[in-house]
Structure 1
Amino acid sequence: MADDASRRAVASDGEDLKAGGDAERAAALEAGRRLFAAPCAFFHAAETLAGLPAPRLPEVAFAGRSNVGKSSLLNALTGRRGLARVSATPGRTRQLIFFDLGGRLALVDMPGYGYAEAARSVKAAWQGLMFDYLRGRANLRRVVLLIDARVGFKPADEAAMALLDKAACAFQIVLTKADKVKPEPLAAIARRAVAVARGHTAALSSVLVTSAVTGQGIADLRAELASLAA
């Protein structure tokens, strides 16, 4: 069983995010539960900047390498198995996919930035629409940057974080597939993620550790995102 520290949010100083007190934490978790219990449905897909929907809700975008577990995490967050399609062929999605969560928050599924690990795959896939969206979307509140806890940071991730810094787009690192990593290596990659976040101007200082299979970290991520909702 993973240690308790790896089940909760990891703060930039290595402490868990209970600084606000148990009552405040409980309230945040309940707000997250209630938000993600609301109806959630697809409402738009865009392949061009002109095709983006009108900015009517706060948006949170989910990004990561192909096969990082993005669709599984979205399904786990919303409790809807088929909301985001889990593809057996990584890298197939080439659109921004928008989901309306209870009329309070839009979840945006971004294309994976390359099954190949080369940083050039980020530049190729995220030129144009992706970068313009990150840089110019006034209602984009945060990017959730997913990192596979089994393999850690790759050149493509570093390139993506550099683009997020350049776009001045706030992002939070979230580790996925924690159920597939033993406690000690999981704690090590969480510490590494905190150190990486410190090196990027657009990164939030906290990191979350999650598993779509066991539910680890899902309540904490819901609470984080609820704080951004309308």
Structure 2
Amino acid sequence: MDASDEPKVGEYSDAEVEAARILFARPATFIMGCAKIEQLPTPDLPEIAFAGRSNVGKSSLINGLVGMHKLARASNEPGRTREVNFFDLDGRMRLVDLPGYGWAKASKTTVKKFQDLGRDYLRGRVTLKRVYLLIDARHGLKKVDDEALDALDLSAVSYQIVLTKADKLKKGEAEKVQAATLKAISKRPAAYPHVAVTSSEKGFGLPELRAEIMRTTGVVLD
């Protein structure tokens, strides 16, 4: 394969999109929630993880990717995800829901416990292929996100920004937020140089994100 044949960042062929659609239509199941690093399942499958502020739409995005309404539990209570939750996709990869951050109602001790658990996972998970850091498109990157970005850079784990709830923006605004976000992370060493724009409610951006995940994990269909 020469350079001209290599897949371009943020671009996916029809074949990639279709293969990813088939993969994510296969059975997805909740495996377990882990409150301690010792409880993590054996690292025998490629994993991709989802992180983000509380109420950014992690559960909705995971459910949207696999086409199920209740695989990941959404909650209106900030900080509800207080464990590292693992989901199996057809025995080929795991989707991992990391504890949310940025909630105001939890104590500092509780917050630190959950953040430390997430950091331990990031540092020590050999099968982790990428972290998808979800950012509400209506608000863009905020000061509260800096700590998460710093932790990801420090862990040297590849991560990609995913803008959520883009359907709430007026026409053309999502592209502006996308460009501003890409510029903001351009000098961060572990940041993947493409910002995905999605809406779990409307479904746009999900086919491309599935293709990106499939490409990243190296999973192939039989």
Q: Tell me the TM-score normalized by structure 2.
A: 0.88
Alignment of structure 1 residues 1-230 onto 2, 5 Å: 17-18=10-11, 25-116=13-104, 124=112, 126-227=114-215, 228-230=217-219
Deviation at 1:197, TM superposition (A): 2.5
- Distance in 1 (alpha carbons) for counterparts of 2:55 and 2:137: 12
Deviation at 1:124, TM superposition (A): 2.4
Flag structure 2 segments of 5+ consecutive residues without an equivalent: 1-7
Q: Deviations 1:33-72 (Å, cap 9, x if unpaired)?
A: 0110110001121111111111011000000000101111
Q: Aligned to 2:172, what secondary structure does the other structure show?
A: helix
Q: Tell me the TM-score normalized by structure 1.
A: 0.85
Question: Which of 218-227 and 182-191 deviates more?
Answer: 182-191
Q: Is the 8 A contact 1:122 1:156 kept in 2?
A: no
Aligned residue for 2:4?
A: none
Q: Aligned to 1:82, what secondary structure does the other structure show?
A: coil
Q: What amino acid is aligned across from residue 186 of structure 1 in structure 2?
A: A
Going from structure 1 to structure 2, the CA distance change for 1:146 and 1:115 (only over 3 Å counts) comes to same
- Distance in 1 (alpha carbons) for counterparts of 2:144 and 2:177: 17
Q: Is the 8 A contact 1:105 1:229 kept in 2?
A: no
Bigger relative contact order (CA 8 A; separation at least 6): 1
Aligned residue for 1:6?
A: none
Question: Which of 220-229 and 126-135 deviates more?
Answer: 126-135
Q: Is the 8 A contact 1:65 1:114 kept in 2?
A: yes
Aligned residue for 1:21?
A: none
How many aligned positions are there?
209
Q: What amino acid is aligned across from residue 73 of structure 1 in structure 2?
A: L
Going from structure 1 to structure 2, the CA distance change for 1:152 and 1:122 (only over 3 Å counts) comes to farther
Flag structure 1 segments of 5+ consecutive residues without an equivalent: 1-14, 19-23
Q: Is the 8 A contact 1:134 1:169 kept in 2?
A: yes
Q: Aligned to 2:185, what secondary structure does the other structure show?
A: helix
Q: What amino acid is aligned across from residue 213 of structure 1 in structure 2?
A: E
- Distance in 2 (alpha carbons) for counterparts of 1:122 and 1:32: 37
Runs of 4+ aligned residues of structure 1 deviating over 3 Å after TM superposition are 15-18, 120-123
- Distance in 1 (alpha carbons) for counterparts of 2:210 and 2:9: 16
- Could you tell me the percent identity over the aligned residues? 48
Aligned residue for 1:12?
A: none
Deviation at 1:221, TM superposition (A): 0.3
